[in-house]
Amino acid sequence: MKADPSGVLTGMHFLDGDHAACEGALAAGCRFVAGYPITPSTEVVERFASRIPMVGGVFIQMEDEIASSIAVLGGAWGGKKVMTVTSGPGLSLMMEHIGLAAITETPVVIVDVQRGGPSTGLPTLPAQADMMQVKWGSHGDYEIIALSPASPQECFDLMIRAFNLAETWRVPVFFMMDEVIGHMTERVDIPPADRIDVVERRWTTKKPGEYRPYAAGPDGVPDMVKAGDGHRIHITGLTHDERGYPAMNPAAQDKLVRRLTDKIRKNREALADIREDGVEDADVVVVSFGITSRVAAAAVDSARAAGLKVGHMRLVVVWPFPEHRIAQMAPRVKAFVVPELNLGQIALEVERAAAGRARTVRIGHAGGTVHEPEQILAGIREAAG
């Protein structure tokens, strides 16, 4: 279906990433946000608080991020598309509810405008060091999806996709910005509502009594209802059967957890979004995401000017990690170069997928600013040998 025009600010704008992300959420149909202020993400909720009274919806500033992260799950079961927004310390507080969202299959978008850590770290300066936390942070086995925008325009465009993926797969979808993308101002074009495709919730067509909340379709995803529809659902964070009732035994655990993980893992290739540039005959491939991809592109240009055969892969979807593509390339490239604003997180995935068939050169950076292109260029030269 097409976007509800009341949330779409059609036109050409000059926006930073935080504001553009909010506009993306409104265009995607988000009508309930619960949040808690935290630098450098606060502008997202500030704009939502200012815009939503005229769009039709609710913003509430909760007492902490624990509350925000579960208020949005309540909001989803009340029938709205929902989002919460935070940065590192708040993300750490949200972990238990990421697991609850995963096991209850509640569609939710969580925006993480990354800053330097650990702990309070660098509140006003960038990092990309929460990449493993969003993948593994809550206890137990589960899967999530994570997108990494590289510009304010992508903060708008990819946010719509984030909501669509959350509704399609019923998993937490992380929107992995960073302080630079959040506060960088560029041109953002917002199309008319009738040119924005949005995915409606997977509302069941079954009648009360027939509907089983966790009976999944062929794609591994169950259809959904909201409270008040007469289905008298029971939703629990305990391991549950297709009725949603607690079923605490190894067989039920195996069936549920495999389905929660398989619905993403088995669709890894379909979910992948890799922007490739010149990888076909490359000796060295730079693998990057988010703000770092913009610096990496400059380094790749310099390396090519110096005669090196260098390709560039930008991961728009970071999780699930596109290990199939790395595995395809690994036998024919010398090395992957992985610059990221952390000391080696996604590089571990590249190494794992390459499985010894190509070197992985880490260009780590502890955060606080972005890389210098020369740092990445030096890594490319080293990799090219």
Partner 1 sequence: MSQNLAIAADEREYPVENPVIPYLRQERIPHIWCPGCGIGTTVNCFARALTESKRDLDQVAIVSGIGCTGRVAGYLNLDSFHTTHGRAIPFATGLKLSNPKLKVVVYSGDGDLFAIGGNHFVHAARRNMDLTVICVNNFTYGMTGGQLAPTTPIGASQTTMPYGNFENPFNLPFLADACGAVYVARWTVFHVKQLTRAMHEAISKPGFTFVEVLAPCPTLYSRRNKLGDGVDQVKYYKERSVVKHGAATKEVALGFQGDIVVGKFVDRERETWLDGMNAHFEKVLGPRYRRYGE
Q: Residue count at the site for partner 1 (CB under 8 A)?
A: 46
Pairing status of strand 145-147 against strand 317-319? antiparallel
Pairing status of strand 274-277 against strand 310-315? antiparallel
Question: Is 37 one of the binding residues for partner 1 (CB under 8 A)?
Answer: no
* Options 9, 49, 55, 193; binder of partner 1; rule CB under 8 A: 55
Q: Are 89 and 41 in contact (CB under 8 A)?
A: no
* Options 22, 71, 155, 330; binder of partner 1; rule CB under 8 A: 71
Closest CA to 313 of 344, 337, 342: 337
* Options 11, 53, 140, 331; binder of partner 1; rule CB under 8 A: 53
| Smallest separation (angstroms) from partner 1 to the CB of 236 | 4
Question: Is 137 one of the binding residues for partner 1 (CB under 8 A)?
Answer: no
Closest CA to 109 of 145, 151, 56: 145
Helix (H, G, I), strand (E, B) or coil at 216: strand
- Residue whose token pair is 């110096």: 306
Stretch that binds partner 1, among 70-78, 128-136, 295-303, 355-363 (CB under 8 A): 70-78
- Residue numbers 217-256 binding partner 1 by CB under 8 A: 226-238, 245-246
Question: Is 54 one of the binding residues for partner 1 (CB under 8 A)?
Answer: yes
How far is the CA of 339 from the CAs of 289, 309, 366, in angstroms?
9, 18, 11
* Options 4, 37, 39, 66; binder of partner 1; rule CB under 8 A: 66
Question: Is 280 one of the binding residues for partner 1 (CB under 8 A)?
Answer: no
What is the secondary structure of 108-145 as a DSSP string?
EEEEEEEEE-STT-EEEEE--TTHHHHHH-SSSS---E
Question: Is 56 one of the binding residues for partner 1 (CB under 8 A)?
Answer: yes
Q: Applying CB under 8 A, which residues contact partner 1?
A: 6, 32, 34, 53-58, 60, 62-64, 66-68, 70-80, 82, 96-97, 100, 226-238, 245-246
